[in-house]
A and B are shown apart, each in its own frame.
Chain A
């Protein structure tokens, strides 16, 4: 059932980071980071503030250019590619400070998420043939499906900005899912959520995982991380200090030191 290629793909990680370096002026935010994310996992990236987590995500998604090392997604090297090309390869993301298209409606936000899966261009816009109209309808339908998936279909006509914070987060996730990504990067999805909202988020994350999407999330909420993750990578000072299953990582003395002892101040 599995071809030799598929077997090889299963062997290597979906996302393989080797020796990644990113500097900002004098500060080395990511310092020769190695990390492997396996396909189908919910993989958490944790660490004290300033340990380079968001920077790593930004390099993966193409918003920052790496200063060294490599990021391979399903065998494709990502370094040097612009963000929109990386999105087209199948990586989606959400942001720590929610980045929705505020003045547009919730539905439009998710429809825009379909951008890489659709192709009507300026010519198609000017000459409204059947194909354009069909694609437009399909985009709208798919967006509504996704909104239903995150339980927000009722809010579809509201402007994105007007939604409460937790709902905005879900719209952002729906938008990212609209591109049918193989890998979804989530930057602190539970930030600012109360326990009830966090529980709802866990349910949502599990349902996304059931779709076959690999998740890489940055989180500070340890309960969430322990509950939902298959694997965890712990960062400190831009390097990984532990990687493995939740129980394994929780017992790791380096991790305990990083969080509780020694270096308490954020870099």
Chain B
């Protein structure tokens, strides 16, 4: 246990040192974007990874958060921090409104309802020109300010995103390791048994959906204040699919997996740049291959490798019956 915590601290410190060591603006941009995506994917991880509910609307909540934050700061002159909080709240509220009726439905119905909602949301972002400025985009979004410091550049914004990622990971971890997380996982594993065990599955599913929306909304807001420009084209169904792929590749029921998936798939295009446009095909093929051979994603792969390394002996089969016979 302690070794793990130590390794985690070392990792966080190493990441925190990146802006000091790396001077390429381009790479720092990738890092910041990867971190922002990681937050969206962690949110999806709570909903899909823990609770087993599919949503293809994360991009919509991402967009709602981004535009809420952008609008509050550019049109109402709000400072960034309250705008960010409000963006998160707005996404959460919309998620509640959408989730409340839709999470009474199962699997496919939910997936499609989220797709439908996502498409409608994007159309609103494109067409509600008074608020969003439509396809021309929203410009002039300010950078956040703490006291005398303004976080204009990627090398300082990096730390805001890092803190946000760590906070979101902590919350997700706390959910996972307590009664609430167990209830969510029970719902994923066997919803009927979960209900019979006293878990109000519908309520928990809705709450998980709200968390996913809130995470995406926070991430959207973070994006708005770093790119300072928003276009509705980014918040499409395809983008929701990308988030899903990131989660699957990283490992859906793991928080580290969510982060890994986001980072990997953000940097992979760079690595695969020589392949030019065919690299997206690799995405698609990779998804199929992974789901067949590595359904728990990369994290699952690491875990089974590690388990094989350890080679512990399981208790003998039929332990219960043998023990009972002895006692009787």
Binds B, one of A16-24, A25-33, A195-203, A212-220: A195-203
Taken together as a complex, chains A and B put the C-alpha atoms of A88 and B195 apart, in Å, by 10
- Any chain B CB within 8 A of the CB of A244? no
Set of chain B residues within 8 Å of A211, measured between Cβ atoms? none
Within 8 Å by CB of A116, from B175, B198, B201, lies: B198
Set of chain A residues within 8 Å of B179, measured between Cβ atoms? 115, 118, 120-121, 124-125, 135-136, 139
Complex contact B195–A63 (CB within 8 A): yes
Mask, B153-176, CB within 8 Å of A = 1, is: 000000000000000000100110
Q: A84-B201, A139-B179 are in contact. Are A151 and B323 (CB under 8 A)?
A: yes
Q: A99-B193, A120-B179, A128-B174 are in contact. Are A152 and B319 (CB under 8 A)?
A: yes
Q: A135-B179, A166-B321 are in contact. Are A100 and B174 (CB under 8 A)?
A: no
Taken together as a complex, chains A and B put the C-alpha atoms of A170 and B321 apart, in Å, by 9
Taken together as a complex, chains A and B put the C-alpha atoms of A84 and B317 apart, in Å, by 33
- Any chain B CB within 8 A of the CB of A155? yes
Interface of A is mostly: helix
Complex contact B186–A167 (CB within 8 A): no
Complex contact A151–B193 (CB within 8 A): no
Q: A103-B189, A112-B182 are in contact. Are A125 and B199 (CB under 8 A)?
A: no
- Any chain A CB within 8 A of the CB of B180? yes
- Any chain A CB within 8 A of the CB of B106? no
- Any chain A CB within 8 A of the CB of B20? no
Complex contact A87–B196 (CB within 8 A): yes
Set of chain A residues within 8 Å of B186, measured between Cβ atoms? 101, 104, 112, 115
- Any chain A CB within 8 A of the CB of B318? yes
Interface of B is mostly: helix
Complex contact B196–A63 (CB within 8 A): yes
Q: Which single residue of chain A is at the shortest CB-CB distance from B317?
A: A164
Complex contact B171–A166 (CB within 8 A): no
Set of chain A residues within 8 Å of B327, measured between Cβ atoms? 151, 203
Set of chain A residues within 8 Å of B192, measured between Cβ atoms? 63, 83, 95, 99
Question: Considering the complex, which residues of chain A in the window 85-113 have a beta carbon less than 8 Å from any beta carbon of chain B?
Answer: 87-88, 92-93, 95, 99-104, 108, 111-113
CB distance from B199 to the nearest CB of A (A): 6
Complex contact A84–B315 (CB within 8 A): no
Taken together as a complex, chains A and B put the C-alpha atoms of A61 and B192 apart, in Å, by 11
Set of chain B residues within 8 Å of A120, measured between Cβ atoms? 178-180
Complex contact A158–B189 (CB within 8 A): no
CB distance from A40 to the nearest CB of B (A): 23
Taken together as a complex, chains A and B put the C-alpha atoms of A99 and B196 apart, in Å, by 10
Number of A-B contacts (CB under 8 A): 145
Taken together as a complex, chains A and B put the C-alpha atoms of A139 and B179 apart, in Å, by 9
Complex contact A203–B318 (CB within 8 A): no
Question: Considering the complex, which residues of chain A in the window 187-242 have a beta carbon less than 8 Å from any beta carbon of chain B?
Answer: 196-197, 199-200, 203-204
Set of chain A residues within 8 Å of B182, measured between Cβ atoms? 104, 108, 111-112, 115
Q: A111-B182, A120-B180 are in contact. Are A151 and B175 (CB under 8 A)?
A: no
- Any chain B CB within 8 A of the CB of A49? no
CB distance from B206 to the nearest CB of A (A): 12
CB distance from B18 to the nearest CB of A (A): 28
Set of chain A residues within 8 Å of B314, measured between Cβ atoms? 155, 158, 162
Complex contact B200–A84 (CB within 8 A): yes
Set of chain A residues within 8 Å of B321, measured between Cβ atoms? 151, 166-167, 196-197, 200
Question: Considering the complex, which residues of chain B in the window 184-205 have a beta carbon less than 8 Å from any beta carbon of chain A?
Answer: 185-186, 189-190, 192-201
Set of chain B residues within 8 Å of A118, measured between Cβ atoms? 179
Of A92, A124, A151, A158, the most chain B CB neighbours within 10 A belong to: A151
Complex contact B318–A166 (CB within 8 A): yes
- Any chain B CB within 8 A of the CB of A38? no
Set of chain B residues within 8 Å of A63, measured between Cβ atoms? 192, 195-196
Mask, B121-161, CB within 8 Å of A = 1, is: 00000000000000000000000000000000000000000
Complex contact B178–A175 (CB within 8 A): no
- Any chain B CB within 8 A of the CB of A82? yes
Binding site for A on B (CB under 8 A): 171, 174-175, 178-183, 185-186, 189-190, 192-201, 207, 253, 314-315, 317-321, 323-325, 327-328
Closest A-B pairs by Cβ, 6 of them: A87-B198, A116-B198, A151-B323, A101-B189, A200-B324, A99-B193
Report 17 cross-chain contacts, Cβ distance below 8 Å, ordered by A residue.
Answer: A87-B198, A95-B192, A99-B190, A101-B193, A102-B189, A103-B253, A116-B197, A121-B179, A122-B175, A128-B174, A152-B319, A158-B314, A167-B318, A167-B319, A179-B197, A199-B325, A204-B324
